[in-house]
Amino acid sequence: MLQPKKSKYRKAFRGRRAGTVTRGTTVAFGDFGLKATSAGWVSARQIEAARKKITYATKRVGKYWMRMFPDKPITKKAVGVKMGSGKGDIHEYVAVVRPGMILFEIGGVTEEVAKSAFTKAAHKLSVKTMIVEK
């Protein structure tokens, strides 16, 4: 499971997901990219599921790049715990995704293979996406 090796603070604020992203909006490494069109949190499990789909759909031909990393800890209290008594324990790690962000890239495969792989991977993610070319 993807998660940071170290972090400055153990627990993070929830934050706001308003506005579009300014950096990482173009396909930089590969030929095709999966671009987010909505904002949201993408969990480490969703990223791993999408990554597996991409490797399976491309039959490990070419190369792929993950342009997001789940570095935000999300806390959750146990079931049946009363209100108060502090913030809960870390439940999972998520990547904060904003519209315009490139999530995955693929290079060295045909357009049909890339579109097929990204379509399957997009079903595993909790944000709306579109496929873009370099």
- What's the pLDDT band for 128 if we cut at 50, 70, 90? very high
Cβ partners under 8 Å of residue 83, min gap 6: none
Architecture of the domain defined by 32-76+87-133: Alpha-Beta Complex (3.90)
Q: What is the mean pLDDT of the chain?
A: 96
Around Cβ 79, how many Cβ atoms within 10 Å? Answer: 5
The predicted pLDDT at position 17 comes to: 84
Q: Is residue 1 a contact partner of residue 48, using CB atoms and an 8 Å limit?
A: yes
Residue with tokens 């399976």: 56
Residue 73 CA to chain centroid, in angstroms? Answer: 14
Cβ partners under 8 Å of residue 95, min gap 6: 41, 42, 43, 44, 47, 68, 69, 70, 71, 72
Q: Which tens digit of pLDDT belongs to each residue from 7-27? A: 999 999 999 988 999 999 999
For the chain, the structural domain boundaries read 32-76+87-133
Query: Which one-letter DSSP state was computed for residue 118?
Result: H
